[in-house]
Structure formats: C-alpha cells, structure tokens
C-alpha cells in the first residue's frame, strides 16, 4: 500500500520489525553491559533491512527490457561481508584472552535478522531472534551456575585427604 506515491507500508513494516528484533537482542547485550548494546543492534538490523529493501525494489525503474534481471542476493552478500568487518573490530585479543567474540557474533546474526525482515521473512526473523535470546540467556545461566559451583565452599564430608 503506497501513500503519497513513495511511502510503502509493507516496507515500513519490514523496517519496524527489523528494528524491534535487533533492539531486543541489543537490549539483552545492554543489560549485560556489553560494548555493542541496544543502539548498535537496532541500527545494524535496521540498516540490513533497508539494504535488502533497496536491493530488491530500489532499482526496478532501471530495467528497460525483460532480458535484464536484478540479483538481490548481491547486496545481501555485501552486508554479510561488511558486518563481518564491523564484528572483527569488536574482537579484542589481550593478555592471551579473547574478548568480544559473542558481541561480534550477535552483531552478525542481527544483520541476518535484518536481511530476513527486509526480505519479508518475518517468521524466520522472529524465530531466529528468539533462538539468539534463548542462547544468550542459557549460556549466561550455565556460566553463572558453574561459577557458583566453583566458588562454593567445600564441605567437610566431601574433602579428599
């Protein structure tokens, strides 16, 4: 549905869903005090969706004959490459410790979710977002539980002498 000849509600919905799903992942990262939080994930998902929409619909007027065909996957592939570069900047190797790998992976999957929204694949994008959030929370739960067990005081009857 177009309004004013340029405002397509379906495309706006794609952007909105991408921004909301990316924001949900970013909110989780924000609550964990990670470098890439709500704004970063929100923008990556929104930008990816916009790139996909522009790739799929932005050049239709340039087609003059039926022998020309647009390949929308080319822009999607470039988003993957570009976000990979962004993610590489988030990874820090310092004192034999690797930091930022999960954050980089979150930014990468957020871009994929944005591309899915831009392509109109809402169900896939929503399920992927839920999987990401479940994975992040499950990992955090198990990590916290392991630390608790590791730091628990040893009981007298469990000591090995």
pLDDT digits 0-9 by tens, 40-91: 999 999 999 999 998 888 776 666 667 777 777 788 888 888 888 888 888 8
Q: Which residues contact 87 (CB under 8 A, 6 or more apart)?
A: 104, 105, 107, 108
DSSP string covering 78-146: HHHHHHHHHHHHH-EEETTEEESHHHHHHHHHHHHHHHHHHTT-HHHHHHHHHHHHHHHHHHHHHHHHH
Between residues 95 and 118, which one has the greater pLDDT? 118
Q: How far apart are CA 111 and CA 128, in angstroms?
A: 11
pTM of this structure? 0.78
Residue 96 pLDDT more than 70? Answer: yes
Q: How far apart are CA 104 and CA 89, in angstroms?
A: 8
């Amino acid at each position: 549905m177009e309004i004013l000849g340029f405002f397509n509600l379906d495309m706006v919905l794609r952007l909105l869903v991408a921004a909301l799903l990316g924001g949900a992942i970013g909110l989780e990262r924000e609550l964990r005090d990670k470098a890439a939080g709500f704004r970063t994930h929100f923008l990556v998902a929104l930008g990816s969706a916009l790139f996909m929409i522009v790739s799929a619909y932005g050049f239709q007027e340039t087609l003059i004959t039926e022998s020309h065909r647009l390949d929308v996957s080319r822009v999607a592939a470039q988003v993957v490459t570009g976000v990979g570069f962004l993610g590489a900047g988030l990874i820090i190797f310092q004192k034999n410790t690797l930091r930022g790998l999960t954050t980089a992976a979150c930014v990468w999957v957020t871009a994929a979710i944005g591309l899915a929204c831009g392509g109109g694949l809402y169900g896939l994008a929503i399920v992927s977002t839920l999987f990401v959030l479940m994975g992040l929370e499950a990992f955090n739960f198990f990590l916290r539980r392991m630390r608790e067990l590791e730091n628990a005081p040893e009981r007298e009857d469990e000591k090995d002498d």
